[in-house]
Chains A and B, each alone.
Chain A
Amino acid sequence: MSRRAPPKILTRNIYMSDFKFPPSIKSRPVYGVLEPRPGKSHLMIADAEGAEALLRLASENPEIFSGAHIIYIPKDTGETFVERLRAAAPAILHVSPSYAACLPRLRRVLSDAHMGLQVYLAGTEGLMGQAMVEATNAGIPHSAIQTEHRGSVARRMQCVHCKGITEDVMTDPFVCSHCGLTLFVRDHYSRRLAAFQGVCIDAEEPGNIPAPVELYK
């Protein structure tokens, strides 16, 4: 029995601005293209290349930006998009070093928002999924929240065994960053957890672990 080296979790982002996800099962989120919707206030949350989706919206509909509150997490795009977002003149632009860092602010904004608030999410699946949890917990139906995928196709995975979440998974299988089991990547997705499901790959043949393959390759 040859024990292969555990797969690496790749943390680098692959820049794909218009990635077409292959057709999948009904629990897997499907992302759209942001469009302006009627409403007195607009909350936009994006990470990394997600800024491009907001900038496109701004160029087509500058008026909704005048009342927009933007929370932006550049991740490893650094300053690439920040000045352009500022130039689009949103009512508020908050640049945050991480999603965790902006979470208290996001909750505060949602806590006294009124019905009619429009929420726009753009960027990675992990960011959009987690922000959607906050917005739905605040009382907005998930189907009323717009999303547009941009940037990395890395996945946020929950280990079904230990319940730990591993961020930015780029290979299948991958090693759970909490319990160390090698998990295969399912398309089954929980909106409540904002995560895909990872399941032990070698339960029926311990140690027989295929070499990790980059997602969508």
Chain B
Amino acid sequence: MTIQFNDETFRDDYTFRNSPWAIKRFPFPFHEDSYMYSVNMERHRGGPKGSVYEKRFDVDEHYLSEMRDRALVLAEDPLRCQSLPHMTLAGWDLLELIMVAKSEDYPDLFELHRNGNAWRWVNKPMGIDHSFTFLDDATLPHGPMEYITRQTQGDFAVLDQRDDNLWMDAGMVTTQADWSLDFDIGMNFFEWHAPVPLAHEMGVFQRALKFLLNVQQGSPARRLNWTMTVNPLLDTSPENYHKWGIQKTELTPENVGAKQHLRVELQTFFRLPRSNALVFPIRCYLIALQDVVSVPKWGRRLHRVIRDLPVELATYKGFVRNRPLIVEYLSQFDDGLPTSDGVWPDLETEPPLRSG
């Protein structure tokens, strides 16, 4: 399959669009008509052909535009990519993991040629053909983590494992759901999740940490998380909140379907072999509500989930103010019919919307 890369923006004029292919493979996060926190981990070992779960690092039509957006963010604020000094080896681990995975999973797009520590990396979409020495920082234009994550969609938190905890000691974070790497770097698992309501009391983080500490080499895991974003703005950072926060007030009944986006994170977890660190890629997928409801099952379900979400979660996820508008819009696409279990669109088996 050859991917047609879009030329689009995630800021200013917001020309980001999902093709019908991208809509159909969108990682819809709700497997039932309601939502509450859960650890919801599963093995990350492929998935249905064409789905975002199929490859270790999914590459889609937004690749080049997302990488351009990342470069813009980093030029404005280099603190979005940081690595504490002891994390360089983990950065090389990550570079190796991504280069090996992408060259194996997308041989038409990426090539990796290795002769001992003399490596040559070819990234055809981005026009990169670079020879360097593995584990020699001086042969790369950036540190190893920054080098490879400037070429890979999604944010990356690189976690050191010690004292029975995970420590966020490195990361590339430019497509985040409103958290600051610069502020959180160096924190442990409980500390960087501290602002999340309800989940601590439910024991979600203790269970999740126990699971993650035991993610082993060769056995990556994954889960989904989600929030809502007005406009297809990838960089919803606290740093720029004083600039983008106002966009939340621009929703109207007329534009909500086009402007309000469901934001889904495909979070994966890989043990890094040389450093024993854990990498936590957080891949962000955006979809306009008007595209969500083009799948009848998803339209019905999203309405029910958003309508019934506990107010603490709607507040934490930052859309409590707009929830009435969103629910009103989505209610047009919920005819009350039951929905099938699971996240898949089930376009062939689920009935079309009953016009009412």
Contacts and interface: CB of A to CB of B under 8 A. Distances in A.
A–B proximity contact (CB within 8 A)? yes
Interface of A: 25-28, 141, 158, 160-161, 163, 181, 186-188, 190-193, 197, 199-200, 203-206
Contacts of A158: 183
Contacts of A204: 245-246, 248-249, 321
Interface string B163-187: 1000000000000000010111111
A163 B242 CA distance: 13
B242 A203 contact: yes
Interface string B229-241: 0000000001111
B193 A190 contact: no
Interface in B169-212: 180, 182-187, 190-195, 200
B73 interface: no
16 contacts: A26-B191, A26-B193, A26-B200, A27-B187, A27-B190, A158-B183, A160-B183, A161-B239, A161-B240, A163-B182, A190-B187, A197-B180, A199-B238, A199-B241, A200-B245, A204-B249
Interface in B35-94: 79
Contacts of A26: 190-191, 193-194, 200
Nearest to A183: B242
A141 B186 CA distance: 12
Contact of B185 (A181, A192, A203): A192
Contacts of A199: 238, 241
B187 A160 contact: no
Contacts of B187: 27, 190-191
Interface string B284-327: 00000000000000000000000000000000000001000000
Contacts of B249: 204-205
B146 to A, nearest CB: 19
B260 to A, nearest CB: 15
Contacts of A197: 180, 183, 238
A141 B167 CA distance: 13
Given A190-B183, A190-B187, A191-B186, A160 B194 contact: no
B191 A27 contact: yes
Contacts of B242: 161, 181, 200, 203
Contacts of A205: 249
Given A161-B239, A203-B246, A205-B249, A25 B186 contact: no
B13 to A, nearest CB: 21
A188 B183 contact: yes
Nearest to A193: B183
